Structures are given as structure tokens and as C-alpha cells.
């Protein structure tokens, strides 16, 4: 049973909680160009696209941070910054939200993960992404940086209510959540049962212990049924979700896009519907917005299905913000939750 009326009352009050966002951070950089301004390079004869403006946002862990801060939650950021201009821009973007960046680790020799998105003007005046350019370190994370990240997480944990772990990359050892760091985080979760530990992992959700996990249904199949092909039925997804929750020893959340999400908690499976939206959508950052909503829900004392409903609500607002990783305010969330009372 999801008590939407109680949820609205809780979300309308300023939350008195602090969340640590630990793991992978990136810089989202949008560059805008109009083909009408293209030039031919004198030197090469190739088209030289002319970009006249840009927009910069903190992404991955930064998107979670942006959403938590928009919802009034205190945030401590623990992740990596390269000794480069992108690192400076990322830290500035985080600070501008009001987040605490004292625990961010500068990592000389490694670049700041940056997703550069050229946006080309369309005849109708809108913009479309033409092909993303990714910039990130492709060598294993040094042991010294692993140890420093774990140490800073321990420092940031004092006085915090929850930890959101952002395990972004599918390659082992390249991001903040290496096998050693993941094991240390799980040990920290076991040693601090009064704290909420929650992980969003694209490839390694099944390797967490004593941690609430979230993944989408395709990632779930990769974990529990590698090699599966075709469209899974509801019963099979539920079987896989139960297995994932049993592995981690904590509730598990499985998102399914516009079909909503499945919650596996206390031996029960609950299907939580998505919030229907009209018009164009941009799903970039939707999963991170969902994470912010779920963890805020737990901090507010919601049940696992209610937390999932809050996550669905937050992401339904952010996906309507085209060409950027969006955020949702408490007033927007309360307004959308009220639509459930009208059904």
C-alpha cells in the first residue's frame, strides 16, 4: 500500500537529512552549433563546425547531487577530480548546488571523466545530439587512490544518514568502485547498520553485500541470467529480482522505464507504476534522479514501495527537461504526487 497523501505531506517539509554521494562523477558538457555557420577549414578542406555556447552540468554522482540539493537534502560528495580544467568545472558545478566538496579527491595522472555532447540546431529551432565524445582514464585505478577514496568515505560518513554509491562503469577497475573499494564499502555498510547504504551499479549490483541495490531490468538479466535473449516475462523478472535481493541481503529495486519499477523487500514483490508524461522526453540522467528520490524516501521514513514511487515521480519530472540532465523541486514533486490522488 502506497500512501500518497502521507508522502505529499512529508515531501512538502524541508528534509533534515544528509546524504553522502560516493563513487563515479563526471562532467556533462553540451556544446551548441548551427550548421548555417559551418566553415571549411583552409588547411584541411574539412567542415569546421562553429560552436557559440555551452552548458555544463555535474553528471552521474553529480546528477544525484543536483537532484538531492534541489529537494533540500544536504549532500557530501566523495569522488575523483582530475588535475585539469574539467575537474575545476566539475567541482565548481557541485559547489554551486550547495554541496560539500571537501571530500573530493584530486587524482593527478587521471583525467576528469567528461561526456561532451555536440548539439546541432534543427530546422525547427530545437537541438539534437550528434554524437557524444567521452573523455576518461582507461587504466586501472592506482591502489593509493583506492585507499584515499575509502578513507574519505569514512570521514564523510560521520553524521550522515545515508550513502548513495554510484558504480557507473562496466569495466572492472577503471572507475572509483574497483573490486577493493567495493569490498571496503560493503564492509563499511555491515559495520554501520544504522546507516542506509544504497548502490546503483550497471554491471556489479550482484556483488554488493549489506547494501540496497538498484539496476534496470536489462542489467538484472545480465547479472542473473547471462546469455538470456528475448523479452523476459514478469514472472522471470521477479525470480531474478528475488535472487538479487537474496545475494545482497537487502531490498532490491529494478526499474523498467515507462513500465515503472519492481521492488523486492521483506520477501514481497511490489510493482510500482511509472508516472505518465506527455510530449518529448530526454531520459539522460533519469536513473540518477530515481536514485535521489528513492534514498530521500527512505530518509523520510517511507516504505520501500513508497520510496520507489518517489523515485519514479522525481525521474518523471526530470525527463521532461530536454537537452540537459534535469532536476525536480519539492513543489514539483508534491504537485505530481497529487495526480495519484485524482486517479
Instruction: Per-residue pLDDT tens, the chain, 343 aa: give them.
Output: 899 999 999 999 999 999 999 999 999 999 999 999 999 999 999 999 999 999 999 999 999 999 999 999 999 999 999 999 999 999 999 999 999 999 999 999 999 999 999 999 999 999 999 999 999 999 999 999 999 999 999 999 999 999 999 999 999 999 999 999 999 999 999 999 999 999 999 999 999 999 999 999 999 999 999 988 888 889 999 999 999 999 999 999 999 999 999 999 989 999 999 999 999 888 888 999 999 999 999 999 999 999 999 999 999 999 999 767 789 999 999 999 999 998 7
Grid coordinates given for 312: 519514479
Domains of the chain are 4-36+49-341 (3.40.1190.20)
Whole-angstrom Cα distance, residue 198 to residue 330?
A: 22
Q: Apex CA 123: angle with CA 118 and CA 126, to 5°?
A: 50
Whose cell is 544504497? That residue is 198
C-alpha cell at 238: 521477479
d(Cα 309, Cα 327) in Å, to the nearest integer? 16
* Sign (positive or negative) of CA dihedral 216, 219, 223, 225: positive
Contact assessment for residue 223 and residue 205, using Cβ atoms and an 8 Å cutoff:
yes
Strands (E), the chain: 18-23, 25-33, 39-40, 47-48, 51-60, 74-81, 105-106, 114-121, 127-129, 133-135, 162-167, 196-201, 212-216, 252-255, 261-265, 268-272
- Percent of residues in the chain assigned helix, strand, coil, to nearest 5: 40, 25, 35
Closest CA to 210 of 163, 178, 171, 151: 163
Best CA proximity match to 146, nearest among 203, 120, 115, 185: 185
Amino acid at each position: 500500500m502506497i500512501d500518497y497523501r502521507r508522502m505529499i505531506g512529508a515531501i512538502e517539509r524541508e528534509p533534515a537529512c544528509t546524504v553522502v554521494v560516493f563513487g563515479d562523477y563526471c562532467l556533462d558538457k553540451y556544446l551548441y552549433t548551427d550548421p548555417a555557420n559551418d566553415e571549411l577549414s583552409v588547411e584541411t578542406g574539412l567542415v569546421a563546425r562553429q560552436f557559440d555556447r555551452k552548458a555544463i552540468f555535474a553528471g552521474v554522482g553529480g546528477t544525484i547531487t543536483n537532484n538531492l540539493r534541489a529537494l533540500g537534502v544536504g549532500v557530501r560528495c566523495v569522488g575523483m577530480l582530475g588535475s585539469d580544467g574539467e575537474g575545476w568545472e566539475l567541482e565548481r558545478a557541485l559547489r554551486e548546488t550547495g554541496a560539500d566538496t571537501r571530500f573530493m579527491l584530486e587524482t593527478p595522472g587521471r583525467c576528469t571523466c567528461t561526456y561532451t555532447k555536440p548539439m546541432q540546431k534543427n530546422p525547427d529551432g530545437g537541438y539534437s545530439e550528434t554524437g557524444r565524445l567521452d573523455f576518461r582514464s582507461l587504466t586501472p585505478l592506482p591502489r593509493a587512490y583506492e585507499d584515499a577514496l575509502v578513507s574519505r568515505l569514512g570521514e564523510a560518513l560521520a553524521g550522515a544518514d545515508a550513502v548513495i554509491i554510484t558504480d557507473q562503469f562496466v569495466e572492472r577497475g577503471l572507475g572509483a568502485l574497483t573490486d577493493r573499494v567495493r569490498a571496503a564499502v560493503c564492509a563499511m555498510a555491515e559495520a554501520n547498520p544504522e546507516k542506509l547504504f544504497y548502490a546503483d551499479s550497471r554491471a556489479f549490483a550482484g556483488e554488493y553485500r549489506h547494501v540496497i541495490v538498484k539496476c534496470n531490468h536489462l542489467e538484472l538479466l545480465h547479472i542473473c541470467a547471462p546469455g538470456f535473449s528475448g523479452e523476459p516475462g514478469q514472472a522471470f523478472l521477479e525470480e531474478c529480482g528475488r535472487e538479487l535481493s537474496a545475494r545482497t541481503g537487502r531490498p532490491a529495486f529494478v526499474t523498467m522505464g515507462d513500465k515503472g519499477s519492481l521492488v523486492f523487500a521483506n520477501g514481497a514483490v511490489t510493482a510500482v507504476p511509472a508516472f505518465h508524461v506527455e510530449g518529448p522526453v530526454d531520459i539522460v540522467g533519469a536513473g540518477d534522479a530515481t536514485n535521489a528520490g528513492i534514498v530521500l524516501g527512505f530518509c523520510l521514513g517511507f516504505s520501500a514501495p513508497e520510496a520507489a514511487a518517489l523515485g519514479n515521480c522525481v525521474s518523471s519530472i526530470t525527463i521532461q527537461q530536454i537537452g540537459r540532465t534535469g532536476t525536480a523541486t519539492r513543489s514539483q514533486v508534491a504537485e505530481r504526487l497529487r495526480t495519484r490522488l485524482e486517479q
